[in-house]
Structure 1
């Protein structure tokens, strides 16, 4: 079946009925397995890292198809690529393997790209457009099988189906300080790239870990901020001061632009009371681009994935900033609000900070777990706007409510250390892993503030906004390619 037939079938009422029925049946199976305790559970780690391809001059370019098919995975745009580390135990040996595998895979992708005159960049948002320009790239269409489709969308049926479904009721709109634009496709979301940390706790403790994760998001987003600019061509109001103060993590509103219809699929999730709530959340999520297993020639023939194929497909479009993800060992937490980072050390540092922080909060019964949900949600959006200057909701180990970063971060890093020690990591190893991230706090400098400082210096030297942002980005790419952790860039 070609992609056009897949898109057509996904929009039929009969397909939607069959898909819903199967999701409900598979959900019943999962609930039963959860209630009988058949999932093995246990502590595990994993990671997804997104990036994009540029040419030798730093301009956006298509990722080499041969490389994508051999050393990484495709993502939404033709320029995108994704690296996945294998699932490991959340213990000393597993942490070593996570770091080694990520470093090896980044190196392999960069070498494969370089062999085809491309460079692989891990960053929050690309800001140097392709040779035809950012607006033209995001807006370009072509006719396939008599249908007009986004020319730069990865040519896979699932992406065409998503695009048709999400834009059926209207365009995707960017409404940010200095930028108000409408796009006819979901390709605008490919501006952004992320880290997705996977943490699997024991299934019996899943709800506590999930709810604890929500309370950590604001301060961690402020540490990871790496997306203060859009491609300059996208700004409709080119006032430099407006652009300079638009936010430190624009990836958050860029991804939420996918909320064309209500209820929005990209949002901060509510607490859960049990693992079965996680199943219900996926079942109840608004249906988007349904797909049936038999449409795939290479669909799995047996095992967990085959038995729950439609449910797993539906969970793939349940886009929450923290979301439940089911696999053969049980449910895990996918922590999604973090922008991609410059180097492997930065990525691993954030992965272990998140895992240690969540585990530390639960294993010590830290008062942070009692932070009101609304305060945690507001902290995320405050962090995306103002970074370290935001009111970051927190509860200290003494039970005191605070929004002062000077009180938040010492407690946050101490709690992460407790969590990592409890999983068997030695103190020296913990310090080496967290150091690249902790120095962001001690120097009050994140990749986003570094980018702003560089652009500000160029503006003060007489550059216009487009030249300043482009010059900053080329410096970012050069420094990231050295592999030196971001903290070592700070002068």
Structure 2
């Protein structure tokens, strides 16, 4: 059996590129044929969710980052591996976007999380959070930088053993001369690996679009919603304190640090080729553009399907494995995904869905499901109403997204309202965000009372003008005012966050 290091080395060889590109173009042509023939049409909208978590030591005096043993991942087929040894991802099976759908999503996410916490042992637990900040005993830099050289490749010690991860890591290291830079307020350093991307965790809601011809309308609307939706969900304002530069003023840091560091961390970890791979995507004019963009994207670490052991030739996705691999490194903040699992009453595995990628993991399952509902409902509502939001210039939508990452609910956002008027008024913007999210869910048959219930945890943030990132900043500010050092303030905040996240139903309860 070929090991992960050998496979990574094969990926990076020059002779792999030509056959990979040939297969990629053949498979893209196949997908365009499927699209033109109407074979990606489905019966209804459907939703799914990926929810990333990380492990820490258990107990009120612990909560330092911890690793997850490899045998843990057999406990539940909903739990899969991620980049770092401390990371895991909980996946929900897709369901039709109909009454009862969010209950099934919530049950799946909660059950996966509960089983994971039971299986990981009494000395560790899984945390629903967007960025770990209490480092392991060896320290954050030592943990993220530990590596060895094997067969000419750099192998990060705390990266999950996976040929794809190893190959991407070495692709980036080759582009950066062996040192991947990270530059955010208070932190200016470099690492011998992309592993610092595993500082951050996220959720990715998926929305299956039944009418493939309408896909561009949903995709382009999604780009315009990135700013407001991210502003409601920010949850990563701090790095582990031992990564901050020596002599940093904690009060200056409070003023300068973004509300959502995940955006910068992910972009800086892998954006080192000619064309940035992690960014807000351009608008699309046709559904086929979603295929062509993947083909044209800068190539990182190609893999050939016949290298895999036990390759399954029966599924739809198995007919385009090289395209799927390339799509897996097409890291736009919104992207199209073709294929997937059959969804009862909503279609088979031949489908196209929109993956909404910039959202940080939220404090509780209810918060994550509420954000999923907001995203799906908002996109359906905007398109159903033929709302003119896509008249907002793409550059303004992009700028709103990065403004939200920087300033959260206080960001200078831009929008086109229902009357077609440009506005920067937050009251107008968020009133429409929730109005059209309600409309989209109502169109799918949800009762008003259920819509209020599922959107409630996120809507409360606007009503009370607070998000998890704001709570974290204010908690650290109070600790500093009481005389704590920056390191102690962040550690105490993080312990309180973990306690609240495991003992409350939603973040809204923290604000009472």
TM-score, length of structure 2 as denominator length: 0.94
- Report 1:11-410 matches (<5 A): 11-41=12-42, 42-56=44-58, 57-71=62-76, 72-113=79-120, 115-144=121-150, 147-170=153-176, 171-202=179-210, 203-236=212-245, 238-245=248-255, 246-257=257-268, 258-327=270-339, 328-410=349-431
Residues 167 and 260 in structure 1, CA contact (< 8 A), matched pair in contact too: no
CA–CA distance in 2 between the matches of 1:334 and 1:66? 29
Deviation of 1:116 (Å) = 4.9
CA–CA distance in 2 between the matches of 1:116 and 1:317? 36
Residues 362 and 368 in structure 2, CA contact (< 8 A), matched pair in contact too: yes
Change (3 A) 1:129 1:486: same
CA–CA distance in 2 between the matches of 1:143 and 1:481? 40
CA–CA distance in 2 between the matches of 1:146 and 1:256? 26
Residues 172 and 183 in structure 1, CA contact (< 8 A), matched pair in contact too: yes
Partner SS, residue 92 of structure 1: coil
Partner SS, residue 261 of structure 1: coil
User: What stretches of structure 2 of length at least 5 have no aligned partner?
Assistant: 340-348
CA–CA distance in 1 between the matches of 2:415 and 2:149? 52
Report which stretch shifted further, 37-46 or 380-389. 37-46
Q: Which residue is 2:342 aligned to? A: none
CA–CA distance in 1 between the matches of 2:350 and 2:449? 31
Deviation of 1:60 (Å) = 0.4
User: What stretches of structure 1 of length at least 5 have no aligned partner?
Assistant: none
2:451 counterpart of 1:422: no
Q: Which residue is 2:466 aligned to? A: 445
CA–CA distance in 2 between the matches of 1:313 and 1:298? 17
CA–CA distance in 2 between the matches of 1:11 and 1:396? 48
Partner SS, residue 89 of structure 2: strand
Partner SS, residue 100 of structure 2: helix
Q: How many residues align?
A: 490
Partner SS, residue 93 of structure 2: strand
Residues 126 and 192 in structure 1, CA contact (< 8 A), matched pair in contact too: yes
Partner SS, residue 91 of structure 2: strand
Deviation of 1:388 (Å) = 1.3
Deviation of 1:94 (Å) = 2.3
Deviation of 1:369 (Å) = 2.3
CA–CA distance in 2 between the matches of 1:451 and 1:321? 24
TM-score, length of structure 1 as denominator length: 0.98
Partner SS, residue 338 of structure 2: strand
Residues 242 and 487 in structure 2, CA contact (< 8 A), matched pair in contact too: yes
Residues 53 and 119 in structure 1, CA contact (< 8 A), matched pair in contact too: yes
Partner SS, residue 280 of structure 2: coil
CA–CA distance in 2 between the matches of 1:8 and 1:147? 7
CA–CA distance in 2 between the matches of 1:75 and 1:298? 21
For residues 6-40 of structure 1, the C-alpha deviation after alignment (integer angstroms, 9 at most, x for no partner) is: 11110122211111110100000000111111223
Change (3 A) 1:104 1:483: farther
Report which stretch shifted further, 421-430 or 115-124. 115-124
Deviation of 1:143 (Å) = 4.6
CA–CA distance in 2 between the matches of 1:207 and 1:309? 24
